[in-house]
Amino acid sequence: MTQAVNNRTISGKDAAENIVERVKARTAELAGAGIKPGLAVIIVGSDPASQVYVSAKGKKAEECGFFSFKQQLPPEVAEDRLLALIEALNRDPAIHGILVQLPLPSHIDAGKVVQSIAPEKDVDGFHFINVGKLGTGETRTAFVPCTPAGSMILIERIHGKGLSGLSAVVVGRSNIVGKPMANLLLAANATVTIAHSRTSNLDAVCRQADIIVAAVGRPRMIRGDWIKQGATVIDVGINRVLLEGGEPGKTRLVGDLDFGEAAARARAITPVPGGVGPMTIAMLMANTLRAACLAHDASAPF
């Protein structure tokens, strides 16, 4: 059984390393023309998880050969000061990508902050202009949110770029993952259903899917018998749960589906951790490189 599961596991780590190597190669070529991609990351407060994410993004940017800028702001920072910083970065030609680490303190309007980022520097893909481009199929100039973009690459490793004739179910309707994921699948000619935790007969809806993307944010919600035999399953969920039979307080990461049960039926499946997670940062690097290329009318590998 262990060997069978391993044969079906999609390594996000391997795919992410491939993307990063391509980013490094193109960045080195751009350096010869005096172009250096620049990524600015803004973090408000000192949330430990956010600090870890920001540190990982900064290190990966430097590894890729980017100019990496981090701005730490106190949790009580005024919204106007944050908006002024973003406006300055919008005007800075050395910065091609701007990322504001979420969540933000409650006194700051996160939506207003996100929409203040110039669309051409919105490497998170959250600006309404990029959302609209993706929704209308204008993927050439749109920046796609990193997690669904990475998930789509993993799907293409199994099925190729054309998904005609395949049924896809996205479990989750967030603006960050669920909705853009559905748009990417539609653009690849899949027949797409968006479901969520309140969908009636969710098990039956999932069972008819050739491709399932689980992004509902509930640990092990999707059971093995919800999976069609031979389906491809992408688990976006990252949930921390208590470790069974371990020391009190010890936790582990699990996805939105029961991996052991699902792996017995799936053609291919992403693990948690080690599946979609590494792809998210890799796609942030790809988006930043692409932003730099678009700014200088240069070709990009993505």
What residue numbers does the annotated binding site for NADP(+) cover?
Answer: 172-174, 238
Structure tokens at 14: 């391997």
Binding-site annotation: residue ranges: 172-174, 238
- CB–CB of 210/158 below 8 Å? no
Q: Which residues of 41-60 are buried (b: 16+ CB within 10 A; e: fewer)?
A: bbbbbeeeebeebbeebbeb
The catalytic residue among 121, 122, 124, 235 is 124
Antiparallel, parallel or unpaired: β 239-242 and 251-254 = antiparallel
The one catalytic residue among 101, 122, 179, 210: 101
- The answer to whether residues 253 and 273 touch, using CB atoms and an 8 Å cutoff, is yes
* Cα torsion angle, 110, 111, 114, 118, sign: negative
Is 3 a known active-site residue? Answer: no
Q: For residue 193, what is the enclosing H or E element?
A: strand 191-195
Residue of 263, 212, 261, 210 lying closest to 235 (CA atoms): 212
Instruction: Tell me whether residue 57 is one of the annotated catalytic residues.
Output: yes
Catalytic annotation on 47?
A: no
In angstroms, the CA 172 to CA 167 distance is 16
> Collapsing DSSP states into helix, strand and coil, what is residue 232?
strand
Contact predicate 241/254, CB 8 Å: yes
Coil vs helix vs strand at 52? helix
3-state secondary structure at position 201: coil
Active site residues: 57, 101, 124
